[in-house]
Chains A and B, each alone.
Chain A
Amino acid sequence: MHALPTPLANEIFSNLFHSHSLYCCELDKNTRVINMWGDNTFYDFDKWSLGQDLSKVDFLLGMVFDEPWVMRDVQVAKDNHADIYFSPNVVGKRYLAFISTQYTIERRRENQLRGNHLTLLHERNKKLIFQLEESKNTLITNNAGLTNFIASMSHEFRTPLTSITGYAQLIGDQAGLPNETIKHLSYIESASQHLLSLVENVLDQAQLDTENFQLQRSNVSIAELVTEVTAVVASLASAKALAFSAVMSENCVQFAMLDSLRVRQILINLLGNAIKFTEDGEVKLLIDSSDTEIIITVSDTGPGIDPSMHQSIFDAYQRSNMQSSKPGVGLGLNITKRLVDKMEGTISLLSSKGNGSQFTIRLPFIEADDDFVEEQTQPIPILKSTKAKYVYSLLLVEDNTDISNLLKIFLTRAGYKVDIAENGQVGLDKTRIHSYDAVISDLQMPILGGRELVQLLRKDGFTKPIFALTASEKKSEQEKMLGEGFTTILTKPIQMQELLSKLASALHSEV
């Protein structure tokens, strides 16, 4: 390798010298200045003098002057930075050289700032993601707590609702009541039903929010399902003098595996809304199917929904202007949409202001089991009671005297002989003395609860029907209770007709 030609080296050195403000000192063995070259004013070195000990200068303090070193970007004066080179043995002499970095330092500072901001951003993103994860976990935990809270609140609501609706019904059954009283009773009933539907909606909403919400599919007769729903909503339509029709297409599938409870809920939500908001005209339900889907259409001649609301109408607590004048909190359609989503179906709306509304739901279905279809198509034998005059004896185990008195009145009127026990232990004692045809028991009671009672009764060899009265709608919980020995589960608030019908059915099958 050859050295650069001397003129070129001189030219480069000269340029560097001018543009980078080179400065150099020769030091003796005691780091004192022997010689100086360059513009010392550029570095504010003008106070430096021959014989000065540079090891005492602030920015050279602590440096060792017996081996070569480089210090980068040292702030050597107020506005000047330089790289400092120390060479202890250049042709036997010691040199300290300064090369200004002032021309590049701002650019490098900007780059470093950008780099630092990027690093901070990255750190903050990581922190944010961590916080989001934590928040998500907290929400999941809180959500579970909230769901339990709502479930227990729901329980607390249902029990008094049984009393309110039941006693209102009892009063209403009396002959010769003044019209004013009948009107007031209808207000009580309507308010109770509204409160009950609110409780149910809020509970459903909470259940849908939990990750463990699961559909309970079973074999269902579509016609039976539609008949049940029609029975509920027809009276509502009739009360408003609206025409109501429910049509099942001839080609519609007859049986399918569906979550009947949830499909029923969807139908009642849509039909209930249609009846609530329609003042004149009619409400129609049409059930049809394709090879893979059940198609439900609910249409009405109500006020219609502005297209701008078609998306938001399915959001929770969203209500259109028309809806805000009616009772409700705006959960029904949201729950409907979420249930349809859970069933992997679709819901669509065709409506405009003043032209009524049409909701169409398409629900994928699985074919019903062959055994079920066969069983459903068999003619139903007509049951005849051989003990028409026999008076069934019931034991009612309930700690809430409002409820036990109410049920006793209804059951006595229906022709049953009713004995009451205020808790499970009293109930157990009574069954050991008297003979009952059935036991109806609450679950949560002092001393001995309903679930403990049923186990002890079955252990005692009691084989008659045992009914549970529960405020819990959890299907899994109800199935567990059936496994524990209960014959039938009745959910509060108790519908008296339902109780009587299930009681009759259970006692007949005992015959």
Chain B
Amino acid sequence: MEIESRKVCMVGDFGVGKTSSVERFVSNVFSDKYLTTIGVKVDTKVIKSEKSEIKLVIWDIAGRNRFGNIEFTYLRGSASYLLVVDGTRKSTLTTALELRDSIEDRYGQIPYVMLINKADLQDEWEITEEEIAGLRAKNIKVFVTSAKSGDNIEQAFIELSQSLIEKKV
């Protein structure tokens, strides 16, 4: 029997760790070398739960940068998306929230989770606990992650997958 596929997109500013998060989740690897994504790169991973399994088709979309905004066409038919933020660059949180608003303007409300990445760089952290609590108070599912150490990456994707399975999005 063919496994059902669910498209999820990685969205955020450039350099926040979208590709690293996907690589950590899909292949359990991490590279310090920064290679900016051009266009879109697609990876897959099958997620199994007690009752069923789904194939996550993860679209890793080039981040917003000085040359332009993200390509919103890629988000078509997306069951969900992950808004990725760099905890050491507060401006990327603003970008993430702006991107979310633009996505909702185009495609309506799509479920999403937020990854505040680079938890391994606590010394340079710019987003406060209060700000994170504020986001959670607005019912945003926030995960503080580190693609480098792997902290919370799997949990975020698994939780997202579970909600996709349960809600049959």
Q: Name A residues whose Cβ lies closer than 8 Å to a Cβ of B.
A: 56, 58-59, 61-64, 69-75, 81, 101, 105, 108-109, 111-113, 115-116, 118-120, 123
Contacts and interface: CB of A to CB of B under 8 A. Distances in A.
B73 A69 contact: yes
B14 interface: yes
Contact of B77 (A61, A73, A120): A61
A116 B40 contact: no
Given A71-B71, A112-B65, A62 B77 contact: yes
A120 to B, nearest CB: 7
A302 to B, nearest CB: 52
A458 B34 CA distance: 79
Contact of A81 (B7, B39, B74, B91): B39
B57 to A, nearest CB: 5
B52 interface: no
B77 A63 contact: yes
B102 interface: no
Contact of B40 (A71, A108, A112, A115): A71
B100 interface: no
Given A62-B78, A73-B39, A75-B41, A116 B73 contact: no
Contacts of A69: 73
B73 A70 contact: yes
Nearest to B60: A75
A116 B65 contact: yes
B39 A75 contact: yes
A109 B40 contact: no
Contacts of A74: 39-40, 42
Contacts of B136: none
A73 B39 CA distance: 4
B35 interface: yes
A108 B38 contact: yes
Query: 5 closest Cβ contacts across the A-B interface?
Result: A62-B77, A73-B39, A75-B41, A62-B7, A61-B7
B76 A58 contact: no
A112 B38 contact: yes
Contacts of B89: 123
A128 to B, nearest CB: 12
A58 B42 CA distance: 7
B28 interface: no
B36 interface: yes
B39 to A, nearest CB: 2
Contacts of A115: 65-67
B154 to A, nearest CB: 21
B22 to A, nearest CB: 12
6 contacts: A58-B57, A71-B39, A71-B73, A75-B40, A81-B38, A113-B35
Given A75-B41, A112-B67, 10 more contacts: A64-B77, A71-B71, A71-B74, A72-B39, A72-B71, A73-B62, A74-B40, A115-B66, A116-B14, A116-B36
A117 to B, nearest CB: 9
B157 to A, nearest CB: 16
A59 B40 contact: yes
Nearest to B40: A74
A111 B91 CA distance: 22
A109 B14 CA distance: 12
Nearest to A75: B41
Contacts of A118: 66
Contacts of A101: 39
Contacts of A123: 89, 91
Question: Which of the listed residues A56, A70, A101, A113 has the most CB atoms from chain B within 10 Å of its own CB?
Answer: A113
A81 B74 CA distance: 15
Contact of A105 (B38, B66, B78): B38
Contacts of A63: 76-77
B40 A73 contact: yes
Nearest to A64: B76
A62 B39 CA distance: 17
A337 to B, nearest CB: 40
A111 to B, nearest CB: 8
B87 interface: no
A416 B89 CA distance: 75
Nearest to A56: B5
A342 B102 CA distance: 58
A416 B77 CA distance: 103
Contacts of B67: 111-112, 115
B17 interface: no
A73 B36 CA distance: 13
Interface string B67-93: 100010110111000000000010100
B44 interface: yes
Nearest to A72: B39
A108 B66 CA distance: 13
A24 to B, nearest CB: 20
Question: Which of the listed residues A63, A72, A111, A112 has the most CB atoms from chain B within 10 Å of its own CB?
Answer: A112
A112 B62 CA distance: 10
Contacts of A64: 76-77
Contacts of B74: 71
A118 B5 CA distance: 38
Nearest to A76: B42
B15 interface: yes
B66 A119 contact: yes
Nearest to B41: A75
A113 B35 CA distance: 7
